Amino acid sequence: MKAIHFLVFFVLLALASSFASAFDPSPLQDFCVAIDDTNLNVLVNGKFCKNPKYVTADDFFYRGLNIPRPTNNPVGSNVTAVNVDQIPGLNTLGISVVRIDYAPNGGQNPPHTHPRATEILFVQEGTLYVGFVTSNPNNTLFSKILNPGDVFVFPIGLIHFQVNIGKINAVAFAGLSSQNPGVITIANAVFGSNPPINPFALSRAFQLDLNVVKDLQAKFGSNK
Ligand SMILES: *[C@@H]1O[C@H](CO)[C@@H](O)[C@H](O)[C@H]1NC(C)=O
Ligand SMILES: *[C@@H]1O[C@H](CO)[C@@H](O)[C@H](O)[C@H]1NC(C)=O
């Protein structure tokens, strides 16, 4: 009797895992170039697909990731994303890339998560202090100082960051395991939501004085 329960449990588990798809779906054809004009589409898997007979090399192409981006903003970084919105040929392929520029002396890509992607980061220039934190209850920090040529991985969904601890600009490139990784910047989401989260709720949640919460909401809010 026990053994049969066990068997049923495993069959159910196998069924459940075959229905669950935690990552971008596998492509069902060689490619599926995204298109906005639905009159020209033939298939759907992610975004609408362009009729293959109209697909060109430009659908798989992007130019300009060599250009340094300005970092004169409050956090001192600039993320240039190249995902399915920039390269329509990435549709259904489960991959994308970013360039990140960091200002000297503390320019940073502040704590954030990608709800749909693991990230693998490669440092081209400069010195970065990077890390990610595991989920509750351990909240273990895995961190590292990276130099040119170093590579570090941020597992899907976990909060991570990079800080330029050098005196020169830093530049990194990263591959992400989604055509549309998404990004949730923690401070912006929590203190800059629209409309704002009730400051009394945040005061208790973060164990902060109400005035500190209001100050943070003023800094990160959309009406700043
Ligand atoms: C990042 O660079 C782009 C391209 O130069 C610029 O338009 C944008 O304002 C910059 N973003 C930030 C946050 O500085
Ligand atoms: C989390 O912490 C607990 C208690 O210290 C420990 O027993 C457990 O192995 C840790 N788990 C991981 C995944 O590190």
DSSP H/E element including 215: helix 210-220
For residue 138 and ligand 2, the question of a CB distance below 6 A is answered with yes
Best residue among 69, 80, 188 to mutate for probing ligand 1, ranked by most atoms within 8 Å of CB:
69
The predicted model scores a pTM of 0.85
Ligand 2 centroid distance, CA of 17 (Å): 26
Which residue's alpha carbon is nearest to atom 6 within ligand 2?
138
Ligand 2 centroid distance, CA of 18 (Å): 29
One digit per residue, the tens of pLDDT, for the chain of length 224 reads 445 454 444 444 444 444 455 677 777 677 788 887 777 767 666 788 899 999 999 999 999 999 999 999 999 999 999 999 999 999 989 999 999 999 999 999 999 999 999 999 999 999 999 999 999 999 999 999 999 999 999 999 999 999 999 999 999 999 999 999 999 999 999 999 999 999 999 999 999 999 999 999 999 986 44
Is residue 116 a contact partner of residue 182, using CB atoms and an 8 Å limit?
yes
Is residue 81 a contact partner of residue 65, using CB atoms and an 8 Å limit?
no
Query: What residues does each domain of the chain span?
Result: 2-177, 183-224
Question: For domain 2-177, which CATH number applies: 2.40.33.20, 3.20.20.100, 3.40.50.970, 2.60.120.10?
Answer: 2.60.120.10
For residue 78 and ligand 1, the question of a CB distance below 6 A is answered with yes
Those residues with Cβ within 8 angstroms of residue 55's Cβ, 6 or more apart along the chain or in another chain:
31, 33, 89
Indicate the residue type of 27.
Answer: P
For residue 39 and ligand 2, the question of a CB distance below 6 A is answered with no
